[in-house]
Amino acid sequence: MGSLRLTERPHVRKARLWVKLSDGKEGWVRCDLCQRRCVIAPGKYGACGVRKNIGGELYTLVYGLLSASNIDPIEKKPLLHFYPGSTVLSISTVGCNFFCQFCQNFEISQSRLEKGLYGVYRTPEEVVRLALVYGADGITYTYNEPTIFFETVYDVAKEAKKHGLFNTMVTNGYMTPEAVDELGSLIDAATVDFKGGGDPEFYRKIMFVPDPEPIYEAILAMKDKGWWIEITNLVVPILGDKPEYVRRMARWIVENLGPEVPFHLLRFHPDYKLRHVPHTPVKTLEKLARIAMEEGLKHVYIGNVWGHPLEDTYCPKCGYKVVDREGFAIVEWRLTSDFRCPRCGYKLNFRGEYTPRNINYPMPVM
């Protein structure tokens, strides 16, 4: 492919959701995929490093260019109340619109800065075939921010739907409402990942994101489209563990999404440029979980602490343990087929169906 011009390469495609600028900015474009809304001069890249203005038009450079593909349990996303026990094909590209100094996937999310673009090119049909061959129930767009590989998500999701697969994304939520609208019913579920409780100072200083507020707007757009939503919050000790922000977030979820939306408090582990920050103490996670429950949330989970009682699901009405988990595995499923508590009959907030899984560990498939 060395002799091909950039726009002739299969992974370089005209982008979606952008506009040409005028009034002295002829040849410039504005990308409307994420809330950065980058204004990009000819020959330059957006902040994510994978969208380029070529000759006055915006191109994605990572169409179908997969940096990873694995078979994962859906609980790893984490999605605990959506098709529990199912298996997904997880795919990613490179680049990100955030610059989290603790990113566990920094090798792919920040790779454009250090190693250039890379990946294995796959068409949407090939991705879906992989999912079907490995017996996956759906496809998850994850590891790096799916917003920035929107065109791949769109085309793969469309193909997946033809074959009865569901689509989920793990996102930082910094999408524009237009991007959510365009995906519409192609996406079935989203895990929206907050960090540091959504503290604006944490977002500015540790992630180089100007303001987390637009994330809430995107979540409401997802809700309008009928996407299943679970919210996570990575608790970073000392820097991003303020109880008032978790309280505010929990209150917002109760008021806007309902008290039974799953809320996950995730344990931080040292990585990338924050290797000097320790793991989150379990006591901190437990304290924040109590706060979220005080605000009315019924399904508060602690993630990345295997064996913790808050990996399990309890009936909001009678307190009976209805799902027993160990890490990403379901050890015991006690709900009825229509997600009712077997003890009191209360109907819990789940979507889809329970599928007992015979694969519990991630498998690379690329």
> Where on the chain is the footprint of ligand SF4 (CB under 6 A)?
31, 33-34, 36-38, 46-48, 51, 97, 147-148
CB of 176 to ligand SF4, least distance (A): 8
Contact indicator for 104, 170 with CB cutoff of 8 Å: no
Measured distance CA(62)–CA(263) in Å, rounded:
32
Buried b or exposed e, range 18-36, using 16+ CB within 10 angstroms = beebeeeeeebbbbbbbbb
Q: Where are the beta strands (DSSP E) in 215-345?
A: 228-235, 263-267, 300-303, 313-314, 321-326, 329-333
Name the residue number minimizing CB distance to ligand SF4: 46
CB of 70 to ligand SF4, least distance (A): 24
CB of 148 to ligand SF4, least distance (A): 5
- Own/partner long-range contacts of 325-328 (Cβ < 8 Å, ≥24 apart): 325/75, 325/80, 327/75, 328/72, 328/73, 328/75, 328/76, 328/360
| Identity of the amino acid at 264 | H
Measured distance CA(287)–CA(341) in Å, rounded:
27
| Phi, psi values for residue 267, rounded to 5° | -75, 135
Buried b or exposed e, range 70-95, using 16+ CB within 10 angstroms = bbbbbbbbbbbbbbbbbbbbbbbbbb
Instruction: Give the residue with the Cβ less far from ligand SF4, 35 or 87.
Output: 35
Instruction: Give the residue with the Cβ less far from ligand SF4, 217 or 326.
Output: 217
Contact indicator for 136, 166 with CB cutoff of 8 Å: no
The conformation of residue 281, written as its DSSP 8-state character, comes to P
Is 100 annotated to bind a ligand? Reply is yes
- CB count in 10 Å sphere of residue 366: 12
CB of 172 to ligand SF4, least distance (A): 11
DSSP strand pairing (87-92 vs 138-141): parallel
Q: Coil, strand, or helix at residue 147?
A: helix
CB of 162 to ligand SF4, least distance (A): 27
DSSP strand pairing (329-333 vs 321-326): antiparallel
Binding-site positions for [4Fe-4S] cluster: 96, 100, 103
Binding-site positions: 96, 100, 103
